[in-house]
Amino acid sequence: MIRIVALALVFPWLVACAPEAPPQYSVEVVVDTVVRESYQYTSKYIGRLRARDDVAIQARVTGYLLSREFQEGALVAAGEVLYTIDPSEYEADMASAQADLAAALALQANAERNYKRAQELLPRGAISPSEVDNLMAKKLDADAQIEAARARISSAQVNLGYTVITAPIRGRIGRSAASVGDLVGPNTGTLTTLVSIDPIEALFQVGEVVFIEAVTGSSDYDRIARAEKLEVTLELSNGVIYPQVGRIDYIANRIDATTGTLEVRARIPNPNRLLVPGQYVRVILTDPTPLQGLFLPQASVQADQQGSFV
């Protein structure tokens, strides 16, 4: 009985000395609304501009340069005269070939008459068959000389034409490596260069990982491969978006073993000649077909080493 009374006296004291429970606080939770909206797929790559045609102008025949007909760095039209080479040697070759043809025609006419006369005399026994055969051989030889003379005329005409060097395409001409009075020829090397301006090409590389994703059914390379649907725009080095829209016209058939990338080429209109070969740009690919996706505010998305999370 004494023990029960003692416990009854101590228990209220133990309860009074027990620590108080910490207060409960509510956690504030921010709620954002996920919205389904349409968007356009875009991807960006570093690219370099290249002329669609890059022509090295060379002399096809040997001779002294008589004139240079263009201003360095100017635009030239297809067929415009760039250089002239002294034609006197080739004019002489042409005259000689024409004289050879005239002589061959005279020989052929004489051989033809002699052969016909021999054919008339053969039935009367006035000429032997061997003599007829000999006259026929002379006629055939005269025919061959005519063909040879005509071939020499054709060759002389070609060489004479090569003394006038013209622009094969429309484009911008470069600096001339030869001066008037220089002896130029096929072994001289490049006299100048000519590059096309409109349209211009943009080359860029797609990574090997993107290609692997394409094989497994992902979208990035597939979108590039559907070249007829993608729009290509360029961001210039000053951040300005070039106004003309281009199209992809080539995708390489193999991955570069040294870089692990696949080359892609786009053709860009350049009517105002603002784009220059060798210029670096940012290539922006856009799929004009709208896609549907779920969107939420950027502030709701966080990132760590494992990726993005909400």
Whether 38 shows a pLDDT value over 70: the answer reads no
119 vs 59 pLDDT, higher one: 59
Whether 132 shows a pLDDT value over 70: the answer reads no
Mean pLDDT of 123-141: 72
Among the ranges given (87-96, 103-112, 196-205), the one the predictor scored with the smallest mean pLDDT: 103-112
27 vs 232 pLDDT, higher one: 232
Taking CA 204 as the corner, what is the angle to CA 199 and CA 210, rounded to the nearest 5 degrees? 135
Q: Is residue 68 part of a domain?
A: yes
Q: Is residue 127 part of a domain?
A: yes
**Helices 88-121, 129-161: inter-axial angle, 10-degree rounding:** 160
Continuous segment of H or E residues that includes residue 37: strand 35-39
Q: With CA atoms as reference, report the closest residue to 94 among 154, 145, 142, 144.
A: 154
Confidence of residue 178 (pLDDT cuts 50, 70, 90): very high
Whether 32 shows a pLDDT value over 70: the answer reads no
The string of pLDDT tens digits covering residues 210-234 is: 656 544 544 555 545 565 678 899 9
Question: Could you tell me the pTM of the whole model?
Answer: 0.69
- The domain tally of the chain equals 3
Cα gap 221→287, rounded to integer Å: 12
Cα gap 199→266, rounded to integer Å: 10
pLDDT at 208: 74
Cα gap 180→172, rounded to integer Å: 21
228 vs 130 pLDDT, higher one: 130
Q: Is residue 77 part of a domain?
A: yes
Confidence of residue 113 (pLDDT cuts 50, 70, 90): confident
Q: Is residue 150 part of a domain?
A: yes
Examine the domain organization and report whether 176 and 155 are in the same domain: no
Examine the domain organization and report whether 174 and 286 are in the same domain: no
Examine the domain organization and report whether 276 and 293 are in the same domain: yes
Examine the domain organization and report whether 172 and 303 are in the same domain: no
Q: Is residue 27 part of a domain?
A: no
Cα gap 204→264, rounded to integer Å: 5
Confidence of residue 140 (pLDDT cuts 50, 70, 90): confident
pLDDT at 282: 95
Cα gap 115→111, rounded to integer Å: 6
Q: Is residue 6 part of a domain?
A: no
Examine the domain organization and report whether 92 and 146 are in the same domain: yes
Residue 75 belongs to domain with CATH number:
2.40.50.100
3-state class (DSSP) for residue 122: helix
92 vs 1 pLDDT, higher one: 92
Domain range spanning residue 169? 54-85+165-195
Confidence of residue 112 (pLDDT cuts 50, 70, 90): confident
Cα gap 264→201, rounded to integer Å: 10
Examine the domain organization and report whether 63 and 100 are in the same domain: no
- Other Cβ atoms within 10 Å of 129 Cβ, number: 9
Cα gap 76→172, rounded to integer Å: 6
Confidence of residue 28 (pLDDT cuts 50, 70, 90): low
pLDDT at 225: 56
The β-bridge partners of 39 are 291
Confidence of residue 13 (pLDDT cuts 50, 70, 90): very low
The string of pLDDT tens digits covering residues 255-306 is: 888 888 889 999 999 999 999 999 999 999 887 776 655 666 666 666 655 5
Examine the domain organization and report whether 58 and 189 are in the same domain: yes
Examine the domain organization and report whether 75 and 173 are in the same domain: yes
Rg (CA), the chain: 43
Whether 253 shows a pLDDT value over 60: the answer reads yes
Examine the domain organization and report whether 180 and 58 are in the same domain: yes
pLDDT at 14: 45
Whether 130 shows a pLDDT value over 90: the answer reads no
Confidence of residue 100 (pLDDT cuts 50, 70, 90): confident
Whether 11 shows a pLDDT value over 50: the answer reads no
3-state class (DSSP) for residue 257: coil
**Strongest mean pLDDT among 111-120, 149-158, 164-173:** 164-173
Q: Is residue 28 part of a domain?
A: no
Q: With CA atoms as reference, report the closest residue to 277 among 179, 165, 166, 199.
A: 199
Distance of alpha carbon 211 from the chain centroid: 22
